[in-house]
Chains A and B, each alone.
Chain A
Amino acid sequence: MTFRQFAINNVIRNKRLYAAYFLSSLFTVMVFFTFAIFAFHPAFFDGSIRGEILYGMTIAGGVIYVFSFFFVLYSMSSFLQSRKKEFGLLMMQGMSTRQIRLMVFMENMLIGFFATLGGILFGLVFAKAILLFAENVLIIDESLHFYFPLMAIIVTFVSFIILFLFISLFVSFILRTRKLVDLIKADKQSKGEPKASIALAIIAVVLLASGYATALYVKGPLVVMAMLPVIVVVVIGTYLLFTQLSVYVIRQLKERKGVFWRKTNMVLFSDLSFRMKDNARTFFMVAIISTVAFSAIGSLYGFQSFFMRGIDEANPFSFEYTSSADAKEEDMQKEVRFIEKALDKHEIKGDSSVIDKTYFSQNDGEVMITSETSYNRFADLLGENRVRIDDDEAVVITDSSKVMAPGSKVDRLMDSPVKLRDGTTIKPDRMLDEHVLPEMYSYYVISDTMYEKLPEPASVETTRVWAADEGQEDALVQAGEEIFDVIGGYNFAAIDYTIYQVNKVYGPILFIGLFIGIVFFVSAGSFLYFRLYTDLNQDKEKFRMIAKMGLTNKELKKVINRQTALLFFAPIVVALVHGAVALTALSHMFDYTLINESAMVLGTFTVIQIIYFLIVRHFYTKQIRRAVY
């Protein structure tokens, strides 16, 4: 047996021990590779995709690569931790430190090589699925057909062999073998209870509270300025929360015999306080990574809904054609005829209507005033509520939310009365939040009789609208594109086509964001998994011992359940709170409520985490029970 054979057999005949580390490396390679399959798709290189998106994807690939590096490094070091005793045994047989390093290096290269191959193979299996998924999220004209991703394979293989080479070198150099006796007794050593200082615990609370308060308090553009300091403060606060405050709280709980000495609490808490030193770092990392994932996905999703809502509200109709006062009558006729023809061609059914939008000067600007009849005609067209207006009242219809002007017109309109020709005025008495007329800013609606008594309008625009029936989106997009190409976007708006175009640009960003968010989230889960399994042997030993004294199945389950639940949910709950605060701050920046979007994103992650928890708990309990009974 040569030394190389020894190192290789050591891995191959010990599959179970290496499985967790191997699988996590394989997973990392797979993630990178699926992303590469997508990024190197030939459809992106024929020039139809914009340069910024390719740039964005390169950055995203880089982020995933750097992240993979740290992820593999972390899994490797936690894996080596659990092998101290083995190293001790080998050294006792006379293995030199250099040989141990060589062995670790060879083992790692072996695992790395097969993880890279395996990751690429698995990635190929999922390639079609990821391409289908990407096709649906992205709006791409040509479909992303399956192809043999030679380029992606080469890039992934080379990058990860380099990655594993560096990590193997790095780890084998920093591998501290220390004293032989420490290694052999590694699992018998008591790590000692971590200490917590009250001052630092208080600082943790203060930092978190002030960070949150600032994030929730600032509004508008101030949010951007406050962002960096708040992030720094909250990150430090989170670190102290796990390393100091939690230890302090657990110690306080241990002092209270009424709580600590109750049933299985003693087994649970004592372990918790001892593992807190190791746990704290994992918790901190998982909390921060998850927060990044939540906030990134939440804000991308929030932005999308924000834009879409704005577009929807500003354009209640499928098509709008506006002509300015100085346009020639015949041009207008020609263009309207063209639009009608395009609609016929695509067999789009719907109603159309015309309105003369009359603008009157008021204060320094112009504001639209319209009659009850005109308003109701359009309300009928859209199936919205009609209004009833008496002669002595005026209704203000508010801005669409797309208008982000500070101190928007609404307030001014409510305060200033509508002036009639004979000098009398009507005071507005109601405000409605409706999106009926094709007008972005707020306007007045008054009764028909009063409308007759208005002075000459300052300007008039004629707008023709078409409201298509539901369920013809594809035809609307095509018709919109045709008309748009001929008439242009100056006085023509086709809402479905606009949304289509926005999605086309936004889709890839959303996809990349989602992808990275999910990678972060999943790896946060893996960190927790590693943490749990590093302690598996200790736990087996402990429960075996208590079970000899008499521990019922139910009690065992209860302890494991709480122990795992704390591990899985403590960092995630913190991340959820962080994420919720971050998304609230974001919504303050735009003055647009993101409650539904945040609830959906955070809710989805919570559900995934719960499912993940249930699965891991099932297997962990099974392992412990097998060892105990």
Chain B
Amino acid sequence: MLEVKNVSKVYEGKVTYRALSNIDLEIEKGDFVAIMGPSGSGKTTLLNMVATIDEPTTGEVLIEAKNPHTLNQNDLAKFRRRELGFVFQEFNLLHTLTVEENMVLPLTLDGKRVKEMKQRANAIAEKLGIAEIMSKRTHEISGGQAQRAAIARAMIHQPKLLLADEPTGNLDSKASKDVMSMLETLNKKEETTMMLVTHDPQAASYADRVVFIRDGKFYSEIHRGESRQTFFQSIIDTLSLMGGDDSDFSSIRD
């Protein structure tokens, strides 16, 4: 359903900076893919490209065999709010709105009927366990609740693809686990395709597949087996392999 073909991104400026080079990525419908890599590896650039927030310098991004980057600005905005859902590290909830109002915002922008919006909001709130805080304002709820509200907002219009950028970055370990297992459940039950960018190996271990990139290049890819625990271990191993230079390893052996 998502195809990233030979995508490169170059930032022109005083110093030309190559953020991504020749990345290929394919995600099938219902897949849950995590992108990992050290800081500055280009993972958020990749996500922004898929999210149509940024444009690739060369190569193309296809969502359901269509290239959204060929759309004009208005159609692109509509495409984003109908086909994509976003979850961010800093929740990005409007503090002037209640939780419920934040959730239905993408629908109101699309001019849906109030009854339908209410229905959908209640249904999804029930699923995510935030039904009691629907009328609360964003500063009255905890981080975990805020992120769940943000997920509810990202899911309310049943997007084809859910994009999450460090969704656990601002959460404690308990809330991180809650949020990630919720995303996993949504992926399994609703068959929502998900793409997750994260630093956190714990969070990445909830995915079916983890793609590692380093310095803007594809590094490796591992698939989850039966146990999440072993998957977590192999993620850690790959990270430590990727993290250092060859000399680092020799110094450990000494």
Residues of A within 8 A of B (CB): 190, 257-258, 260-267, 270-271, 273-274, 542, 545-555, 629
Q: How far is the CB of B51 from chain A (nearest CB, A)?
A: 7
**Interface assignment of B166: CB less than 8 Å from any CB of chain A:** no
Q: Does B123 contact A (CB under 8 A)?
A: no
Verify B111–A548 contact, CB threshold 8 A: no
Q: In the complex the two chains form, what is the Cα distance from A44 to B139 in whole Å?
A: 64
Task: Please name 27 pairs of A and B residues whose Cβ atoms are closer than 8 Å in the assembled complex, sorted by A.
Answer: A190-B95, A190-B96, A190-B138, A257-B114, A258-B114, A261-B117, A266-B97, A266-B108, A271-B96, A274-B96, A545-B92, A546-B105, A546-B109, A548-B86, A549-B81, A549-B86, A549-B106, A550-B76, A550-B77, A550-B84, A550-B106, A550-B109, A551-B81, A553-B77, A554-B74, A555-B109, A629-B73
- Chain B residue numbers with a CB within 8 Å of A550 are 76-82, 84, 106, 109
Can you list, as one digit per residue, whether each of B25-53 has a CB less than 8 Å from chain A (1) or not (0)? 00000000000000000000000000101
Residues 194-236 of chain B, each 1 if its beta carbon lies under 8 Å from chain A, else 0: 0000000000000000000000000000000000000000000
B53 to chain A, nearest CB (A): 6
- A545 and B74 contacting across the interface, CB-CB below 8 Å: no
> Given the complex of chains A and B, what is the CA–CA distance between A190 and B93 in angstroms?
12
Query: Which residues does chain B contribute within 8 Å of A260, judged by CB atoms?
Result: 101
B53 to chain A: which residues have CB within 8 Å?
Answer: 548
* A-side contacts of B139, CB under 8 Å: 190
Contact of B137 among A190, A542, A547, A553 (CB under 8 A): A190
CB distance from A498 to the nearest CB of B (A): 63
CB nearest to A254 among chain B residues: B101
Q: A552 contacts B97, CB within 8 Å?
A: no
- By a CB distance below 8 angstroms, the chain A residues around B88 are 548
Contact A547 B77 (CB under 8 A): yes
A266 to B97, CA, bound (A): 8
Complex Cα distance, B108 from A271, in Å, reads 16
Contact of A261 among B92, B114, B153 (CB under 8 A): B114
Cβ A270 vs Cβ B81 within 8 A: no
Tell which of B74, B94, B118 touches A270, judged by Cβ atoms closer than 8 Å.
B94
Top 9 closest pairs, chain A to chain B, by CB = A550-B81, A550-B80, A270-B96, A552-B77, A552-B74, A550-B77, A545-B92, A190-B139, A274-B96
B104 within 8 A of A: yes
Residues of B within 8 A of A555 (CB): 77, 109
Bound together, the chains give a CA A271 to CA B92 distance in angstroms of 15
When distances are taken between beta carbons in the complex, the residues of chain A under 8 Å from B80 are 548-550
Shortest CB-to-CB span from A253 to chain B, Å, is 13
Which residue, of B92, B96, B114, B118, has the highest number of chain A Cβ atoms within 10 A? Answer: B96
Whether the Cβ atoms of B108 and A263 lie closer than 8 Å is: yes
Find out whether the CB atom of A549 lies under 8 angstroms from the CB atom of B105. yes
Classify the secondary structure of B's interface with A.
Answer: helix
B44-74 residues with Cβ-Cβ distance < 8 A to A are: 51, 53, 73-74
B114 touches A552 (CB 8 A): no
Q: How far is the CB of B113 from chain A (nearest CB, A)?
A: 9
Contacts of B92 in A (CB 8 A): 545, 548
Say yes or no: A262 contacts B111, CB within 8 Å: yes
Alpha-carbon separation in the docked complex, A357 to B101 (Å): 83
CA gap between A554 and B73 in the complex, in Å: 10
- Contact between A545 and B94, CB atoms less than 8 A apart: yes
Smallest CB separation, A535 vs chain B (Å): 12
Q: Which residues of B contact A271 (CB under 8 A)?
A: 96
Q: Which residues of B contact A273 (CB under 8 A)?
A: 96
Q: How far is the CA of A96 from the CA of B186 in the complex (A)?
A: 52
Chain B residues lying within 8 Å of A542, measured Cβ to Cβ, are 94
Measured CA separation A629–B81 after assembly (Å): 15
Contact A262 B81, beta carbon cutoff 8 Å: no
**Closest CB in chain B relative to A483 CB, distance in Å:** 75
- Of the residues B81, B94, B109, contact of A263 by C-beta under 8 Å: B109
Query: What's the Cα separation between A496 and B108 when bound, in Å?
Result: 68
What CA separation (Å) do A547 and B114 show in the bound complex?
Answer: 22
Find the A residue at minimum CB distance from B74.
A552
A residues in contact with B78, CB < 8 Å: 550, 552
Which residues of B have CB within 8 Å of A552? 73-74, 77-78
Q: What is the CB-to-nearest-CB distance from A340 to chain B, in angstroms, rounded to a whole number? A: 80
Expressed in whole angstroms, the minimum distance between the Cβ of A529 and any Cβ of chain B is 23
Shortest distance between the CB of A95 and any CB in chain B (Å): 28
Contact A266 B74 (CB under 8 A): no
Q: Which residue of A is nearest B76, CB measured?
A: A550
Chain A minimum-CB-distance residue to B90: A545
In the complex, which residue of chain B has the Cβ closest to the Cβ of A550?
B81
Q: Is the CB of B77 within 8 A of A266?
A: no
**A542 vs B51: C-alpha distance in the bound complex, in angstroms?**
18
Smallest distance from the beta carbon of A478 to chain B beta carbons, Å? 69
CB distance from B50 to the nearest CB of A (A): 13
Task: Report Cα–Cα, A265/B86, bound state, in Å.
Answer: 22
User: Could you say which residues of chain B place their CB within 8 Å of the CB of A274?
Assistant: 96
- Please report which residues of chain B, range 138-158, place their CB below 8 angstroms from some CB of chain A when the two chains form the complex: 138-139, 153
Among residues of B, the one whose C-beta sits closest to the C-beta of A260 is B101
CA distance A267 to B95 in the complex (A): 11
Which residues of A are found within 8 Å of B137, using beta-carbon distances? 190
Q: Which residues of A contact B117 (CB under 8 A)?
A: 261
When the two chains form their complex, are residues B73 and A551 in contact, meaning their CB atoms are under 8 A apart?
no
Query: How far, in angstroms, from A551 to B153 measured CA to CA in the complex?
Result: 15
CA gap between A267 and B97 in the complex, in Å: 8
Q: Which of B73, B84, B105 contacts A266 (CB 8 A)?
A: B105
Question: Which residues from B are CB-within-8-Å of A629?
Answer: 73
